Amino acid sequence: MRHPIDPNTLKAFSEKEHAYHAYQARQDYLREQQSIQLEFDDRRAEVEQARTDAEQERAKEQERVTKEQQRAAKDEALAENERLKRLLADKPEPSDPETR
């Protein structure tokens, strides 16, 4: 003979099962949110690293351009100096008025 199950017992099991499913749903949601946050943080770090790399590359390029400009200015000054030296060497010395 079967014993009938007390309705209060069934209700208690039902409530516990409902609570368990609600708890599991919360845990699943929290895990998903944590995964999303970790992915977001990873992407943010990648973007920040790319930004830093680009800034460093720009700084290196600017430094290279500045050095090239300085080198060109120095070369130009040396060329002008040589030109003036040649002009002075080619120019006849002024005659001394006393030796005339």
Encode pLDDT of 79-98 as tens digits. Answer: 999 999 999 988 776 665 65
Distance separating alpha carbons of residues 14 and 22, to the nearest angstrom: 12
Q: Is 30's pLDDT higher than 50?
A: yes
Model pLDDT, residue 98: 59
CA 41 to mean position of chain CA atoms: 14
**H runs (alpha helix) in the chain:** 7-90
Model pLDDT, residue 100: 47
pTM of the model: 0.54
Q: Which amino acid is at 39?
A: E
